[in-house]
């Protein structure tokens, strides 16, 4: 059996593994072995549905050392007024360039694609080629980095969680672009971002809203893309932060908190009459929201149990269907919900979200902390694990943990300097907007409310009366 030796064995060359490695090698002389069972980097984007794009701007995605696309605000099209959002193909090409033009030429990163990582019985680290079966033992001098702990669950490989009659016309969302005959109608199964993307794509492709039926077991709180824009548009982003902190500081209880967050535009419901029960960081623009609201045939009878040739059974009842109806399975959960664990522990690093809904920035931050700090306690203070949200009320602990970390970052001069040089950091370049009245008023509101907001959110998390 072949053997190699390295400082860091990074398992997973998806968005988090790539951002971590880039930040680590930029701030240290570390040697890295990067392994992935896929043939190239980019993780889940390799299997994404064809019309998917980033939910947020490309300006905040990828690795620190290389821009993704162009940081020029779009003037036309559905994304007008915002920074571009890369397609899956652009993201895959980008990460291949990062590997070929930055990582490999550095002489400090070796990539093992089409290879599975396993830990053998004796604790030995092994990578096994999926092509030849050859196994390589990896001796790790410093750490193993788990960059697949939050690997998303994908529509392309997700088996439907319901039964379907062989005569029912059921396709995964990826199959929409492969339809070869017109459908009588489209039934979208799922309430998350994949379902939103499917509905928007159908509408943009000329399918009338009344030909779409949307099975939404739970509604989701959504984020407004207008408040997610960095660089020239950052004052608006900071205004958003200030508004949700003010809402949190003033909330009399949890229902009041969500009323306030909705009133100040920081959480959006597709149907204002239906209180969302879910929150998974999904983002839409106002124009997308308006288009989604044109779909009026929304079924709220719980999850699908079975799709038959002429009826769909749901947890709370049944509805008619027929063989001319395409049923589109959008039920894969996307973000993988797993319990938080220390990011830095013993010989291991487990990459997780720290800043809310920013897993890639969080991974880069972990790379920098690993390169520049000695003690795990300090590294974990900089990078507290912040599990992805799922239920609506998860907004509370996610925001609370992220805000506490923001205070640590802002008051550490070295971290502040790194953050201001990090293209993945949404607040990079904030000083350049010092004279902007919107930013000034946002900062005043943030300073006034961040302490009370954290206290309130802690109390709500601890079960203060709602
Ligand atoms: C549709 C969609 C849109 C998104 N948009 C945004 C956005 O706009 N902005 C944003 O910040 N985030 C966004 N995200 C989230 C983000 O892109 C990443 O999906 C998230 O951080 C997960 O990336 P990852 O590196 O953890 O997982 P992955 O990309 O899945 O990478 C994990 C890798 O580990 C490999 N692997 C797993 N087990 C093994 C093993 N035993 N041996 C070898 N290799 C293994 C897998 O093959 C995979 O390539 C989006 C996610 C989705 C699904």
Q: Which atom of ligand 1 is nearest to the CA of 56?
A: 8
Q: What does the pLDDT average to over 274-281? A: 95
> Is the confidence at residue 154, as pLDDT, over 90?
no
Q: Which atom of ligand 1 is nearest to the CA of 149?
A: 26
- Which one has a higher pLDDT value, 123 or 221? 221
Locate 46 and state its tokens.
């390799």
Locate 125 and state its tokens.
């680290």
How confident is the model at residue 337, as a pLDDT? 84
- Sign, Cα dihedral of 354, 14, 49, 162: negative
Distance CA 412, CA 409 (A): 5
Distance CA 54, CA 25 (A): 26
List residues bridging with 125 in a β-sheet. 119, 138
- Cα 21 to averaged position of ligand 1 atoms, centre (Å): 15
Locate 18 and state its tokens.
């790539």
pLDDT range class, residue 78, cuts 50, 70, 90: confident
Measured from the CB, is residue 55 less than 6 Å from ligand 1?
yes
Distance CA 28, CA 16 (A): 18
Give the global pTM. 0.96
For a substitution probing ligand 1, which of 152, 358, 361 has the most ligand atoms within 8 Å of its CB? Answer: 152
Q: Nearest CA to 12 among 161, 127, 106, 171? A: 127
Query: Is 372:27 a contact under the CB 8 Å cutoff?
Result: yes
pLDDT range class, residue 441, cuts 50, 70, 90: very high
Distance CA 145, CA 182 (A): 47
How confident is the model at residue 346, as a pLDDT? 85
Give the pLDDT confidence of 7-24 residue by residue, as tens digits. Answer: 999 999 999 999 999 999
Measured from the CB, is residue 11 less than 6 Å from ligand 1?
yes
> Is the confidence at residue 68, as pLDDT, over 70?
yes
Measured from the CB, is residue 155 less than 6 Å from ligand 1?
no
- Cα 185 to averaged position of ligand 1 atoms, centre (Å): 32
For a substitution probing ligand 1, which of 15, 90, 158 has the most ligand atoms within 8 Å of its CB? Answer: 15
> Is the confidence at residue 187, as pLDDT, over 80?
yes
Locate 427 and state its tokens.
């607040």
Q: Nearest CA to 136 among 144, 148, 145, 124? A: 124
Measured from the CB, is residue 456 less than 6 Å from ligand 1?
no
How confident is the model at residue 157, as a pLDDT? 72
Measured from the CB, is residue 16 less than 6 Å from ligand 1?
yes
Give the pLDDT confidence of 196-211 residue by residue, as tens digits. Answer: 999 999 999 999 999 9
- Cα 256 to averaged position of ligand 1 atoms, centre (Å): 35
- Sign, Cα dihedral of 69, 73, 79, 80: negative
Q: Which atom of ligand 1 is nearest to the CA of 193?
A: 1
290: Cβ contacts below 8 Å, ≥ 6 apart: none
Long-range CB contacts (< 8 A, 24+ apart) of 117-125? 117/9, 117/11, 117/35, 117/37, 125/9
> Is the confidence at residue 465, as pLDDT, over 60?
no
- Cα 209 to averaged position of ligand 1 atoms, centre (Å): 32
Measured from the CB, is residue 117 less than 6 Å from ligand 1?
yes
Max Cα–Cα distance, the chain, nearest Å: 64
Locate 399 and state its tokens.
């925001």
337: Cβ contacts below 8 Å, ≥ 6 apart: 387, 388, 390
> Is the confidence at residue 158, as pLDDT, over 80?
no
Query: Is 30:7 a contact under the CB 8 Å cutoff?
Result: yes
Distance CA 257, CA 241 (A): 14
Residue 45: is it exposed, middle or buried by C-beta count within 10 angstroms (0-12/13-18/19+)? Answer: buried
Query: Is 19:360 a contact under the CB 8 Å cutoff?
Result: yes
Give the pLDDT confidence of 327-365 residue by residue, as tens digits. Answer: 999 988 767 888 999 999 988 999 999 999 999 999 999
Measured from the CB, is residue 367 less than 6 Å from ligand 1?
no
* Average pLDDT of every residue of the chain: 95
Measured from the CB, is residue 145 less than 6 Å from ligand 1?
no
Give the pLDDT confidence of 94-116 residue by residue, as tens digits. Answer: 999 999 999 999 999 999 999 99
- Cα 449 to averaged position of ligand 1 atoms, centre (Å): 34
Measured from the CB, is residue 241 less than 6 Å from ligand 1?
no
How confident is the model at residue 464, as a pLDDT? 61
- Which one has a higher pLDDT value, 464 or 447? 447
- Cα 388 to averaged position of ligand 1 atoms, centre (Å): 13
How confident is the model at residue 231, as a pLDDT? 97
Distance CA 398, CA 411 (A): 21
> What percent of the chain has a predicted confidence (pLDDT) above 90?
92
Q: What does the pLDDT average to over 77-84? A: 93
């Amino acid at each position: 059996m072949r053997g190699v030796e390295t400082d860091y064995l990074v398992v997973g060359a998806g968005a988090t593994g790539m951002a971590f490695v880039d930040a680590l090698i930029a701030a240290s002389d570390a040697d890295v072995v990067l392994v992935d069972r896929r043939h190239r980097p980019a993780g889940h984007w390799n299997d994404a549905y064809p019309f998917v794009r980033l939910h947020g701007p490309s300006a905040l995605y990828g690795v620190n050392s290389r821009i993704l696309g162009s940081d020029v605000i779009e003037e036309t099209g559905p994304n007008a007024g915002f920074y571009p959002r890369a397609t899956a193909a652009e993201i895959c090409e980008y990460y291949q360039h990062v590997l070929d033009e930055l990582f490999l030429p550095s002489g400090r990163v070796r990539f093992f694609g089409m290879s599975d990582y396993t830990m053998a019985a004796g604790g030995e680290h092994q990578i096994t080629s999926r092509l030849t079966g050859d196994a390589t033992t990896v001796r790790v001098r410093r750490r193993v980095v788990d960059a697949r702990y939050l690997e998303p669950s994908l529509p392309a490989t997700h088996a439907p969680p319901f039964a379907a009659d062989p005569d029912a016309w059921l396709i995964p969302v990826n199959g929409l672009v492969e339809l070869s005959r017109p459908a009588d109608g489209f039934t979208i199964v799922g309430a998350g971002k994949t379902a939103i993307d499917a509905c928007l794509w159908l509408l943009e492709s000329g399918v009338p809203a009344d030909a779409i039926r949307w099975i939404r077991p739970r509604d989701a709180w959504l984020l407004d893309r207008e408040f997610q824009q960095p660089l020239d548009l950052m004052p608006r982003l900071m205004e958003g932060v200030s508004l949700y902190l003010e809402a949190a500081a003033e909330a009399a209880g949890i229902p009041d908190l969500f009323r306030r967050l909705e009133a100040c535009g920081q959480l959006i419901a597709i149907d204002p009459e239906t209180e969302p029960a879910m929150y998974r960081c999904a983002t839409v623009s106002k124009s997308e929201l308006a288009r989604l609201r044109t779909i009026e045939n929304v079924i709220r009878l719980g999850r699908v149990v079975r799709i038959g040739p002429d009826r769909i059974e749901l947890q709370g009842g049944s509805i008619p269907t027929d063989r001319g109806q395409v049923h589109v399975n959008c039920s894969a959960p996307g973000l993988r919900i797993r319990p938080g664990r220390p990011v830095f522990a013993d010989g291991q690093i487990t990459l997780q979200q720290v800043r809310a809904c920013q897993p890639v920035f969080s991974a880069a931050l972990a790379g920098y902390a690993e390169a520049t700090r000695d003690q795990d306690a300090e590294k974990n203070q900089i990078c507290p694990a912040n599990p992805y949200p799922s239920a609506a009320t998860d907004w509370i602990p996610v925001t609370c943990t992220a805000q506490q970390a923001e205070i640590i970052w802002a008051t550490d001069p070295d971290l502040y300097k790194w953050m201001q040089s990090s293209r993945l950091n949404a607040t990079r370049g904030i000083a350049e907007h010092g004279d902007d009245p919107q930013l000034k008023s946002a900062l005043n509101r943030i300073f006034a409310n961040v302490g009370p907001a954290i206290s309130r959110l802690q109390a709500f998390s601890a079960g203060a009366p709602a």
